[in-house]
Chain A
């Protein structure tokens, strides 16, 4: 029985983290898939969302600014707003220039954000990070939540304490995973709506043929900034959920560009950029591979160090982690060259006015 609970929890954690990455990939899909904006600073937007959420919702602490103890959804919402503001700043400067500049600027802003998080120790507790970030559903079992409204309306502190004592200590895990999957679904539905709406078709037009879109009177710069800001807000939300999942965030290892920015890119490209379902599929697929390969590595290292007893297992452990990153990088190159459309290629929404018969006459570009 215990073993099954273990497998069940492993599956749930796969769904949780996979779902968080799916939100990152959906945000990136708005920027890259819809609008063709090359953002390599995903980790920066994630960090803004995560730190905003963390500072607003944690209990008061002497280590960092505040700990304002605000409601969790409010913290997530403000995290999205902050991330969107950073994106608007970058977008206003760089979007009118060629895509390369946006790439450089996003990688730069991600580094600057990390620099600020590391140096402003008064606000963020510097490299030691922010601890005890409340996580959805699990936070109900913290005293500061069940002793205050609305939970205090339904029972006294002692009752709640007894209630949570009776529950298994992983009670929150299925609920948390379900919440994340629900958020993925809601964002997916919203983005599908946006994609088939005139806004989405206009984005495709701008991406595919900018001069034509400009000539037909579309405000190209503005639309691009819109897409960039919306995508960044979604990434900020994902960052806030990431902070909830981890409960302890610090600037260097948590927000490693390789693990956030790069993995998200591989997920989107593998799944199919421009396709929201592709983004979600790619995220779960790559996260499963990533997570399962860790088990394989741990297993094979145990085997190898049994055979070659002179080798230091920790040596192999660190090297194997980097080898895995290298293989993911090579996988990305292979997808880019051989399967640029990904598993689920982009599907263009048909114009509502055009019949299937005269689709050829609508001047569809390749």
Chain B
């Protein structure tokens, strides 16, 4: 029972949080700019690399001043990295996506497909193709949490990194909810997502909304990338591409253009991927762990056949 919770359910939720944050950006871009951004995974990956660079630079700075133990927590290093990620997003939009705003959407999808390769190659040129260790060492379960839960008769083992990922995701999702429901720009974003022509007629500045979309998507993408490397403790240039399919599956599952749908979809996909490896019948895993990505694809295919508009009744094209 506790093995199930600690080794399958919690990792599933963690993975789900990462997918959810990535899928928020995808679903917003799809809803507001009306194209599926294939470069999203690579942007996440570059956010993680930038965070690592900020951390390494900080440690090097400490060593220069004679403090050998300077280390920056990834969540703090993430802030300047997220700013850079937003800049990358805005620059790609300005130079590669904006020229096609009035053209058929498929042209932008092609441009984003090209961007995917450009960003990945750029990261490979700058940081090299090899794996980089993000944080060293084995993550020990949080002692306080396991003590509290064992007093209550539970045995929950969670390393600190998972607690940070949960907390970060909850904060970001709550902030996103506030932005979309309470602020002017958030309401404008929802309006553009529902009907761009009507929004334009009512005097909403569509360019501003698009900029806001990239900023929100950029923050979520950077966070997702950093959470992913916090979880796996490894930086790889292929990790963005690996995330792409589950994130699209989450966005479609939740309904295109529905941020909460994307969160729900991400959690479902993350849980489904991890739980599919649980030995439900007999002693062997139900599905070989090598096929985890296949679970996301299968869910997506079933969704496209049965209910293309998604769980939360998003847009269906």
Chain A residues within 8 Å of B, Cβ to Cβ: 36, 38, 40, 93-94, 97-101, 103-105, 107-109, 111-112, 115, 118-119, 257-258, 262, 265, 269, 315, 318-319, 322-323, 325-326, 328-330, 332-333, 336-337, 340
Contacts and interface: CB of A to CB of B under 8 A. Distances in A.
Contact of B110 (A38, A98, A318): A38
Interface string B111-139: 10111011011101100110000000000
A265 B316 CA distance: 27
A329 B96 CA distance: 11
Interface in B288-317: 288, 290-291, 293-294, 297, 300-301, 304-305, 308, 316-317
| 10 interchain residue pairs of minimum CB distance | A98-B317, A326-B121, A329-B118, A322-B124, A119-B290, A325-B121, A100-B36, A329-B117, A322-B121, A332-B114
A108 to B, nearest CB: 5
Given A100-B105, A326-B118, A333-B114, A319 B125 contact: yes
Contacts of A112: 293-294, 297
A317 to B, nearest CB: 11
Interface of B: 30, 35-36, 38, 96, 99-100, 105-107, 109-111, 113-115, 117-118, 120-122, 124-125, 128-129, 241, 244-245, 248-249, 252, 288, 290-291, 293-294, 297, 300-301, 304-305, 308, 316-317
A97 B291 CA distance: 26
A40 B30 CA distance: 18
Contact of B293 (A104, A115, A318, A323): A115
Contacts of B288: 119
B118 A333 contact: yes
Nearest to A263: B117
Contact of A108 (B105, B113, B297): B297
Nearest to B304: A93
Given A97-B304, A99-B105, A101-B252, 14 more contacts: A97-B308, A97-B317, A99-B106, A105-B304, A109-B297, A115-B293, A119-B290, A265-B113, A315-B128, A329-B121, A330-B118, A336-B110, A337-B99, A340-B107
B40 to A, nearest CB: 12
B290 A100 contact: no
Contacts of B96: 333, 337
B36 to A, nearest CB: 4
Given A107-B244, A108-B245, A322 B125 contact: yes
A38 B38 CA distance: 13
A326 B122 contact: yes
A103 B109 contact: yes
B304 A107 contact: no
Given A112-B297, A325-B117, A333-B118, A99 B308 contact: no
A115 B290 contact: yes
A99 B106 CA distance: 7
Contacts of A318: 124, 128-129
Contacts of A315: 128
Contacts of A40: 38, 113
Contacts of B308: 97, 101
Contacts of B244: 107
Contacts of B113: 40, 103, 262, 265
Contacts of A258: 117, 120-121
Nearest to A114: B293
B109 A100 contact: yes
A112 B248 CA distance: 15
Contacts of B252: 101, 104
B301 A93 contact: yes
A112 B316 CA distance: 24
Contacts of A340: 107
A345 to B, nearest CB: 16
Nearest to B110: A336
Contacts of A111: 245, 293, 297
Contacts of B120: 258
B125 A103 contact: no
A97 B300 CA distance: 13
Given A118-B290, A337-B99, A93 B106 contact: no
Contact of B304 (A94, A115, A328): A94
A99 B245 contact: no
B38 A101 contact: no
Contact of B114 (A107, A108, A336): A336
Contacts of B301: 93, 105, 108
29 contacts: A36-B106, A97-B316, A98-B317, A99-B106, A100-B36, A100-B106, A100-B317, A103-B38, A104-B248, A104-B300, A105-B304, A107-B245, A108-B297, A111-B297, A112-B294, A257-B241, A258-B121, A262-B113, A262-B117, A269-B110, A319-B124, A323-B121, A325-B124, A326-B118, A329-B114, A333-B115, A336-B110, A336-B114, A340-B107
A298 to B, nearest CB: 17
Contacts of B241: 257
A103 B36 contact: yes
B125 A323 contact: yes
Given A115-B290, A332-B114, A326 B125 contact: yes
A111 B245 CA distance: 9
Contacts of A99: 105-106, 109
Nearest to A96: B308
A40 B114 CA distance: 11
Contacts of B105: 99-100
A115 B290 CA distance: 7
B109 A38 contact: yes
B128 A319 contact: yes
A174 to B, nearest CB: 34
A193 to B, nearest CB: 27
A16 to B, nearest CB: 25
A337 B107 CA distance: 9
Contacts of B129: 318, 322
A115 B291 contact: yes
B291 A336 contact: no
